[in-house]
């Protein structure tokens, strides 16, 4: 998924806000949107570095092990402080990151077994990422997944507009 992580993050965060009975505030939505793209922030480094032999998904921020470690540390911190807001922050961040990684598993492949194995596990392999796992997709922009991302954006934009009209977002 190239552009779909933000709308998925929006819907995920809206669901979590409702489920956790939190007020719908821009800071909560912003946190969720940021968390939805955190695994791809290494893409900036990958582009700026001259290391093209490694996909950006091979960097630490594309590995579930990294987030599992941070999640465990966060839960330990929560066990000491037991603040409702901290539980909400941890939930919003790590659920959005997990969904991002699951989506990337479908479309590219992720190193789910790292540090035990560097193999990429995925369904589709868009543009030759990873180690060649999954169904090869030569041109993502003619694949059904690209059109699904566009539909996600349209639905998300409509949902945001409706929320503004209802006065939920200010």
Res 101: pLDDT: 94
Share of the chain above pLDDT 90, in %: 49
pTM of the entire predicted model: 0.87
What residues pair up with 125 in beta bridges, in sequence order? 136
Q: How far apart are CA 67 and CA 145, in angstroms?
A: 26
pLDDT of res. 168: 83
* pLDDT per residue as tens digits for the range 58-114: 778 889 999 999 999 999 999 999 999 999 999 999 999 999 999 988 877 888 999
On whether the CB atoms of residues 1 and 110 are closer than 8 A, the answer is no
The pLDDT value given to residue 3: 86
**Count of domains for the chain:** 1
Q: Which of 69, 56, 72, 52 is nearest to 115 (CA)?
A: 69
**19, burial (CB in 10 Å: exposed 0-12, middle 13-18, buried 19+):** exposed
Give the pLDDT band of residue 127 (cuts 50, 70, 90). Answer: low
Whole-angstrom distance between the N-terminal and C-terminal Cα of the chain?
29
Residue 131 has pLDDT above 70, yes or no: no
Domain membership of residue 32 as a residue range: 5-166
CB of 11 closer than 8 Å to CB of 159: yes
Q: Dihedral angle at the C-alpha atoms of 150, 151, 157, 161, nearest 10 degrees?
A: 160
Token output for 4: 């779909």
CA torsion sign for 30, 32, 33, 39 is positive
């Amino acid at each position: 998924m190239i552009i779909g992580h933000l709308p998925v993050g929006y819907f995920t965060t809206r669901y979590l806000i409702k489920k956790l009975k939190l007020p719908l505030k821009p800071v909560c939505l912003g946190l969720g949107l940021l968390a939805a793209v955190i695994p791809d922030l290494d893409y900036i480094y990958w582009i700026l570095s001259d290391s093209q032999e490694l996909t950006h998904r091979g960097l630490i921020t594309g590995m579930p092990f990294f987030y599992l470690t941070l999640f465990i540390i966060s839960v330990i911190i929560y066990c000491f402080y037991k603040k409702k807001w901290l539980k909400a922050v941890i939930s919003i961040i790590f659920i959005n990151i997990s969904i991002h990684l699951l989506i990337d598993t479908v479309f590219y492949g992720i190193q789910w077994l790292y540090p035990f194995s560097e193999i990429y596990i995925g369904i589709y392999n868009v543009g030759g990422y990873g180690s060649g796992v999954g169904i090869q997709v030569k041109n993502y922009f003619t694949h059904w997944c690209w059109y699904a991302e566009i539909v996600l954006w349209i639905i998300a934009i409509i949902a945001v507009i409706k929320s503004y009209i209802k006065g939920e977002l200010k």
